[in-house]
Structure 1
Amino acid sequence: MHCIGLMSGTSVDGIDAALVEITGTELDLKINLLSGEIYSYPKELRSQIIEVCGGKPISVEEFARLDDSVAYCFAQAAKIIQESHPQVKLIGSHGQTVFHRPLKESNKKTELGYSIQLGRGSVIANLTGIPTVSNFRAADIAVGGQGAPLVSKVDAYLLGHTTRHRCVQNIGGIGNVTYLPPHQQPHWEQKIRGWDTGPGNILIDLAVQKLTNGQQTYDNNGEWASQGTPCEPLVRKWLKQEFFQQPPPKSTGRELFGYVYLEQCWQDAQTCHLTNEDWLATITELTAASIADSYHQFINKPIDEILLCGGGSRNQYLAKRLQQHLLNSRIMTTNDLGISTDFKESIAFSVLAYWRFFYRISGNLPQVTGGKQPMLLGDIHLPIDWKKNSLSSKYLG
């Protein structure tokens, strides 16, 4: 089955599109990446998305136009990537997150989470003529979950091992991890854990933009940070922040780790007399230390291998710092196991759509998201002229 997975992460770098051939279902799940491309947003649209993520107020009409503009870009990405490839049967689109508020619980009440992803699936379906599954987070949130991370079940079947303890660490704008116990353990699936670890690339990218007045957007391979020395007292202070101490399930986003947070880090550093290189090294160290610290706090198992993916997996300095914190674990990338580091997340959403549309397989893991039960993830959207007899009606439930 040929499917397309689409997503754009917290960094708003562009649309990651993966065209994959999928066979099997769970333990026999197999993925063949036929094509993977990153499609940049138009500059003005990217700026508008980032402004909305930052809390800029806009009218409902402007929001609707933005939603449609993002959907159009996602549809164009899907149309371009399938050129010269076999007919695609399904699209799974995560969309562009612009707001994420995790579940809040207090003695008085429970406030369900709320998450908004732009890029309407109905628009994508009708512009491409391909059934589309979108709005993946809503079903998990409706049963008391965080709505994230959602890729842990896919990680389990694509990247688990018979005897090794593994962590799959995505480093996008925000970092998230899936802990995978060995398959030979009894009830191994129930022992899978996952959560957002905190900032991934987002603070590093914002710091580079601040230091260069917007002339640079990221630290290539961590070369700039590698010239500095991290300020350990600052990192220890930042790690006392409430999110890092909160036990899973937990998720986060730009709402916490964004411009305001970075400015506070900048103010904290003013009394330490750091060079620009030192400050960037310290910001990078926060990502590495927060990942390692979360493993120590919440896994309490020897981790044999850590599989990095996402844009941050290319930051060699960050990988070296992470290795220093986790000396007994082997740092690898998902490339080493045949799953693209750049497109693992978009591949995962093609699988979640495939499970939802063709097999009615639940996509969330309650012990990861905090949802009260397994749920079918995603809303199904059919093109207006889609022939009902092209697939069995059982897929439409």
Structure 2
Amino acid sequence: MTHQTTDKILAIGLMSGTSVDGIDAALVEICDRQGILTTNLIAGHTYEYDADLRKEILAVCAGEPRSLQQICELDDRIAESFAKAALAIREKSDRQPDLIGSHGQTVFHRPPTGQKMGYTVQLGRGAVIAELTEIKTVSDFRVADIEAGGHAAPLVPMLDILLLSHPEKYRVCQNIGGISNLTYLPPKALENQEKVFGFDNGSGNVLMDMAAQKLFGVPFDNDGAIARQGEPNLELINNWLEQEFFLIPPPKSTGRELFSPAYLEQCLSECKNLNQSLSDYDILATLTEFTARAIAQSYHDFLPVFPEEVLVGGGGGRNGYLMERLQDLLKPAIVKRTDDFGLSGDSKEAIAFAVLGYLRIKERYGNLPSVTGAKRSVLLGKIYQ
């Protein structure tokens, strides 16, 4: 008679992405039946950064110079914000969580090139979070993969394999956060992990959000309502898609270092310098179409088999216009949000870091070398009691 071992823990996942729009927190029950994981989201919420803190983070991301002391102080301020978010989401359950998995805030990311190892910096140190919450904390997930020669991105594919693969269908999990990235899941992906891969495939929401703020004074284009009123300029988009990032094969990763405020300014000046100057609505439509076409192009260029289903997570999944464009560009695949498959698209990345924290304390590998390009599987994250 085989003995069924089941492990059930309550974990908090914390994540803030390239958009720096706040800290996504997920309170999630993780059930482990002999190595097969399932998750149950108890609560998910985004806690906004204090306005001054957000401004400082964006300044550092944009490469504005700061002293080492200022960077250290920022590290602690971010950790304090993350701890506050953890304590707030903890209130949604009467049980004390066993674990926090905190991604922190990326302020610098340099992919590996040739023989040169990559470099990545996430602020919000785990020791401070553990101290303030009195909950065991795992943080600094990306460094071990970088040290094994990888890009340390994307890391969410491990969650996709565990929760979203299908026995017969080819699926792609498309995340559209600040940056967009995908996980390619062939049938029975859990048994065929070497065939799973993923990569960053575009600017995601970051250019659209910056343009919405600059041109319309709103934080983002709600449901794509503004872009829907414009007409995209395909000539510009096709030129932009000739840039090196879109043409190089995976593994690859990107961030605000490429899709920066300066990058947006270049796009805007090209929009204004056309024979017929584009309206602000046309500009936002063009940037939205650029996001959608970058995603579609990456499928045609780099996926061995075109997917039957595309499962969209992240803020981009709530942009109705962007979703319509993806459905049109990715035919005959069916494009839906991950919510339709039982996994909250809004909380997906936070859930992923709760799960990666769990894998770390169980001493299970957290990276997928076929995704990140690392030379080997490694334990991700540092544990703070």
TM class, shorter-length: over 0.9
Question: Which of 68, 78, 85 does residue 60 from structure 1 map onto?
Answer: 68
2:286 aligned partner: 282
Question: Which of 251, 255, 258 does residue 257 from structure 2 map onto?
Answer: 255
Across the aligned residues of Structure 1 and Structure 2, the Cα RMSD in angstroms comes to 1.2
TM-score, with structure 2 as normaliser: 0.95
Answer whether contact 1:14 1:41 (CA < 8 A) is retained. yes
How far apart are 1:198 and its partner, in Å? 1.5
Question: Which of 160, 166, 181 does residue 165 from structure 2 map onto?
Answer: 160
Whole-Å separation in 2 of the counterparts to 1:83 and 1:153: 28
1:362 aligns with 2:365: yes
Whole-Å separation in 1 of the counterparts to 2:197 and 2:326: 20
How far apart are 1:324 and its partner, in Å? 1.5
Whole-Å separation in 2 of the counterparts to 1:251 and 1:377: 18
- Total equivalences in the alignment: 374
Answer whether contact 1:5 1:346 (CA < 8 A) is retained. yes
1:146 aligns with 2:151: yes
Whole-Å separation in 1 of the counterparts to 2:251 and 2:190: 23
Q: Structure 2: which 5+ residue stretches go unaligned? A: 1-8
Whole-Å separation in 2 of the counterparts to 1:205 and 1:236: 21
How far apart are 1:84 and its partner, in Å? 4.7
Secondary structure class of the residue paired with 1:111: coil
Answer whether contact 2:199 2:372 (CA < 8 A) is retained. yes
Whole-Å separation in 2 of the counterparts to 1:148 and 1:186: 19
How far apart are 1:80 and its partner, in Å? 1.2
Secondary structure class of the residue paired with 2:36: coil
Whole-Å separation in 2 of the counterparts to 1:93 and 1:376: 15
Secondary structure class of the residue paired with 1:150: coil
Whole-Å separation in 2 of the counterparts to 1:240 and 1:50: 28
Whole-Å separation in 1 of the counterparts to 2:260 and 2:327: 26
Secondary structure class of the residue paired with 2:273: helix
1:358-382: CA deviation from partner (whole Å, max 9, x where unpaired): x211010101000000000001111
In structure 2, what residue type is equivalent to 1:74? F
Whole-Å separation in 2 of the counterparts to 1:224 and 1:308: 21
2:6 aligned partner: none
In structure 2, what residue type is equivalent to 1:231? N
Provide closer, same or farther for how the CA distance between residues 89 and 186 of structure 1 changes in structure 2, counting only shifts above 3 A: closer
Q: Structure 1: which 5+ residue stretches go unaligned? A: 383-397
Whole-Å separation in 1 of the counterparts to 2:197 and 2:125: 30
Answer whether contact 2:299 2:306 (CA < 8 A) is retained. no
Secondary structure class of the residue paired with 1:104: coil
In structure 1, what residue type is equivalent to 2:198? G
Calculate percent identity across the aligned residue pairs: 53
Whole-Å separation in 1 of the counterparts to 2:101 and 2:268: 39
Secondary structure class of the residue paired with 1:3: strand
TM-score, with structure 1 as normaliser: 0.92
2:30 aligned partner: 22
Whole-Å separation in 1 of the counterparts to 2:222 and 2:206: 14
Whole-Å separation in 2 of the counterparts to 1:95 and 1:122: 12
Question: Which of 45, 51, 54 does residue 37 from structure 1 map onto?
Answer: 45
1:313-344: CA deviation from partner (whole Å, max 9, x where unpaired): 00011111111211110011110011101000
